[in-house]
Chain A
């Protein structure tokens, strides 16, 4: 059994610049006040979406996106108050049952098996994920709270 401390969070495939550009286009269209930037135009690994405001007291925030040719991804929110959270898709072998879509909750985007939750974005299509991330961002921003960052099904 793999030791969680050595569990890789790496994505399969290769970084896909075309995908990062598509994510930027969709997010900037949905959120005109956001500004996306690739870390390198010729050999991009990460898209940084600079947000005009953070959740609650945070004055600035950013969503960092990594996306692979096999549609594995990390979508990581980080802000000036030191809060981190992440939705991702890649093999997480040490969780039982092993699954692919996980939410790493705030305040520190925890990765231990007891902290992570199944992601509400259990989807690998970029056109859908980019829109869903934007909706979740708007929700937590307007609520001034992270409690709905991984909105769970309401109990009956």
Chain B
């Protein structure tokens, strides 16, 4: 029982984009490995087309290929390296280095506060210990932890680029 509004939304998306753009959209945020068939279905296209574009995106470093012996299929996911570099570049384009340093310090302080509030070291520990920690808080904590990693990567890249650009002495 598909709703009219969803059917229209799907056909609008298909009309407004190419299969390659849709595959790119889907795999850009595929953080857990999926098969070409699954990605094709999400992207409203054929498995053959998906395989072709995913192979290309894999050669470009945007996608990581793994094989799964259980399913005897090639699996694809967004390359973590590609994702981290993309987020770092976006951060460095949008914020000054001093501001970035300040924000990193702030996010580290937020995480320290979460630890003090909950008595656990990480959201993963909270799940393992089966504590009654507020799930909303855990969601925010996972976000801060993830974004802190991107921010730190941005700072490291910015510092490395600066070091590389320095003229050699004497």
Residues of A within 8 A of B (CB): 8-11, 13-19, 22, 41-45, 68-69, 120-123, 125-129, 131-132, 135-136, 139, 151, 153
Whether A18 touches B5, Cβ cut-off 8 Å, given contacts A8-B136, A13-B142, A42-B103, is no
Measuring CB to CB, which residues of chain B are less than 8 angstroms from any residue of chain A?
Answer: 1, 3-6, 8-10, 12-13, 22, 25-26, 28-29, 31, 42, 87, 91, 94-95, 100, 103, 107, 134-136, 138-140, 142-148, 151
A45–B140 touching, CB < 8 Å: yes
Interchain CB contact under 8 A, A18 and B6: no
User: When chains A and B are docked, how far (Å) is the Cα of A28 from the Cα of B87?
Assistant: 22
Q: Which of A13, A120, A131 contacts B12 (CB 8 A)?
A: A131
Given A10-B136, A151-B5, also A43-B42 (CB < 8 A): no
8 of the cross-chain contacts (CB-CB < 8 Å) are A8-B135, A11-B139, A14-B142, A15-B147, A42-B103, A43-B144, A69-B31, A125-B42
Contact: A16 with B6, CB < 8 Å? no
Min distance, Cβ A151 to any Cβ of chain B, angstroms: 6
Specify which chain A residues have a CB less than 8 angstroms from the CB of B6 in the assembled complex.
120-123, 128, 132
The number of A-B residue pairs with CB atoms under 8 Å apart is 93
Could you tell me if B143 and A120 are in contact, using CB atoms closer than 8 angstroms? no
Complex CA–CA separation, A66 to B56 (angstroms)? 32
A17–B144 Cα gap in the complex (Å)? 11
Given contacts A14-B143, A14-B146, contact A131 B1 (CB under 8 A): no
Q: How far is the CA of A45 from the CA of B146 in the complex (A)?
A: 12
Residues of B within 8 A of A151 (CB): 3-5
Give every chain B residue within 8 A of A69 (Cβ-Cβ). 29, 31, 146
Residues of B within 8 A of A123 (CB): 6, 9
A18 interface neighbour in B1, B29, B136, Cβ under 8 Å: B29
Nearest CB of chain A from residue B126's CB, rounded to whole Å:
12
- Taken together as a complex, chains A and B put the C-alpha atoms of A95 and B12 apart, in Å, by 33
* Distance A16 CA – B29 CA, assembled complex (angstroms): 9
Which 10 interchain pairs have the tightest Cβ spacing?
A: A10-B135, A15-B143, A14-B142, A131-B9, A132-B9, A8-B135, A43-B147, A120-B3, A10-B136, A14-B143
Q: Are A19 and B29 in contact (CB under 8 A)?
A: yes
Cβ contacts under 8 Å, B147 to chain A: 15, 17, 42-44
